[in-house]
Amino acid sequence: MMSDSIQYCGPPSMSVMGRDVLGFHLQRYLQNWLEQAQRARILIGVGFEHSQARMASFEVACDGFEPMKTVWTFEDLCEIYRQGDDRLHMEPPGDDGEPVVYDLVALLDVAHQPFLSAAEAKAQEPPEASVILGFALVEELDALPSEAITQLVEQATEAIRAARRNAMRLFFDENQSLPLKPFLYGMMARLPEWVGCDHSASILLTSSLEAMTLEASGDARFDFLAERIFQPEGMAVPRRLVGMSISLGEPSCGFIRAAVERQMRAPDTVAQVFTRSKKDPEIWNEAWSGSTLHPGDEEEDTPAQHQWLGFHHCKERDDEAMYTFAPMLAWDDTGYEHLGFLVLVSRSARPIAQSSAALLAEMGDKLSSLLRYSPLYMLNARKLRVLGQIRQTLERAIADTNADDAAKVEGLIGEVTSRLVRHIEVPSLAIAYLREESDAAGKSRRYLRYAHPHGWSKFEQLNLAVDVQPAQRLDSGVSSLAARLNRPLVLSGGYGMGEAFAFKNYLYVHEESGVVIDARSPQARGVEESREWVRLSDYYKPARKSAYATLAYPITFAGRCLGVLTVEVERHTNWLWWTGFGAQLFWELFASELAYAFYALGVGGDKEDVDA
Q: What is the pLDDT of residues 125-163, one digit of tens each?
A: 667 888 999 999 998 888 999 999 999 999 999 999 999
Q: What is the per-residue pLDDT for 609?
A: 44
pLDDT top residue among 5 and 592: 592
Beta strand 221-230 pairing with 9-10 = parallel
Which residue type is seen at 459?
Answer: F
How many residues are listed for the chain in this entry? 612
> Can you list the positions of beta strands (E) in 426-498?
428-438, 444-454, 461-465, 489-492, 494-495
Q: What is the pLDDT of residues 475-531, one digit of tens each?
A: 999 999 999 999 999 998 877 666 666 778 899 999 999 999 999 999 998 899 998
Instruction: Judge whether 176-295+305-373 and 381-492+537-601 match in fold.
Output: yes
Let me know: does 407 contact 396? Beta carbons within 8 Å. no
CATH code of 381-492+537-601, in short, is 3.30.450.40
Radius of gyration of the chain (CA): 29
Question: d(Cα 47, Cα 81) in Å, to the nearest integer?
Answer: 14
Which residues make Cβ contacts (< 8 Å) with residue 8, sequence separation at least 6?
185, 227, 228, 229, 240
Q: What is the per-residue pLDDT for 291?
A: 60
Please check the confidence at residue 543 and state whether its pLDDT lies above 70.
no
Q: In whole angstroms, how far apart are CA 107 and each of 37, 38, 61, 170, 430?
A: 18, 21, 18, 24, 61
DSSP letters of 540-578?
Answer: ---SSTTEEEEEEEEEEETTEEEEEEEEEEETTS-GGGT
Let me know: does 447 contact 479? Beta carbons within 8 Å. no
Beta strand 515-518 pairing with 502-503 = unpaired
Please check the confidence at residue 231 and state whether its pLDDT lies above 70.
yes
Question: d(Cα 189, Cα 230) in Å, to the nearest integer?
Answer: 8
Across 205-209, 294-298, 433-437, least confident range: 294-298
Let me know: does 273 contact 294? Beta carbons within 8 Å. no
Question: d(Cα 196, Cα 194) in Å, to the nearest integer?
Answer: 6
Let me know: does 325 contact 341? Beta carbons within 8 Å. yes
Q: What is the per-residue pLDDT for 195?
A: 97
Which residues make Cβ contacts (< 8 Å) with residue 413, sequence separation at least 6?
431, 433, 451, 452
Q: What is the per-residue pLDDT for 215?
A: 67
**10 Å Cβ neighbour count for 115?**
18
Question: d(Cα 183, Cα 8) in Å, to the nearest integer?
Answer: 12
Across 9-13, 110-114, 187-191, 606-610, least confident range: 606-610
pLDDT top residue among 576 and 435: 435
Q: In whole angstroms, how far apart are CA 383 and each of 17, 212, 424?
A: 38, 21, 8
**10 Å Cβ neighbour count for 525?**
11
Q: Which helix (H) or strand (E) holds 258?
A: helix 255-265
Which of 52, 50, 46 shows the shortest CA–CA distance to 23?
Answer: 46
Beta strand 64-68 pairing with 87-90 = unpaired
**10 Å Cβ neighbour count for 267?**
16
Let me know: does 119 contact 29? Beta carbons within 8 Å. no
At residue 218 the predicted structure's pLDDT band, cuts being 50, 70 and 90, is low
CATH code of 176-295+305-373, in short, is 3.30.450.40
Angle in degrees, CA 405, 408, 409, rounded to 5: 85
Domain boundaries in the chain? Answer: 12-167, 176-295+305-373, 381-492+537-601
Which residue type is seen at 65?
Answer: F
Please check the confidence at residue 358 and state whether its pLDDT lies above 50.
yes
pLDDT top residue among 547 and 79: 79
The angle, 0 to 180 degrees and rounded to 10, between the axes of the packed helices 354-372 and 180-189 is 170
Say how many CA atoms lie within 13 Å of 313 toward its Cβ.
Answer: 13
The dihedral region occupied by 255, where left means phi > 0, alpha psi between -120 and 50, and beta the remainder, is alpha
Beta strand 322-332 pairing with 307-309 = unpaired
DSSP state of 47: -
Task: State the CATH architecture for 12-167.
Answer: 2-Layer Sandwich (3.30)
Mean pLDDT of 575-599: 89
Let me know: does 260 contact 248? Beta carbons within 8 Å. yes
Q: What is the pLDDT of residues 431-472, one digit of tens each?
A: 999 998 877 777 889 999 999 999 886 666 788 999 999 999
**10 Å Cβ neighbour count for 355?**
21
How much is the pTM? 0.90
Instruction: Tell me the average pLDDT of the chain.
Output: 88
Question: d(Cα 332, Cα 344) in Å, to the nearest integer?
Answer: 27
Question: d(Cα 35, Cα 18) in Å, to the nearest integer?
Answer: 26
What percentage of the chain has pLDDT greater than the value 70?
Answer: 90
Let me know: does 595 contact 394? Beta carbons within 8 Å. no
At residue 611 the predicted structure's pLDDT band, cuts being 50, 70 and 90, is very low
Which of 334, 339, 279, 341 shows the shortest CA–CA distance to 311?
Answer: 341
Report which listed range, 208-222, 295-309, 310-324, is most confident. Answer: 310-324
DSSP state of 252: G
Q: What is the per-residue pLDDT for 305?
A: 79
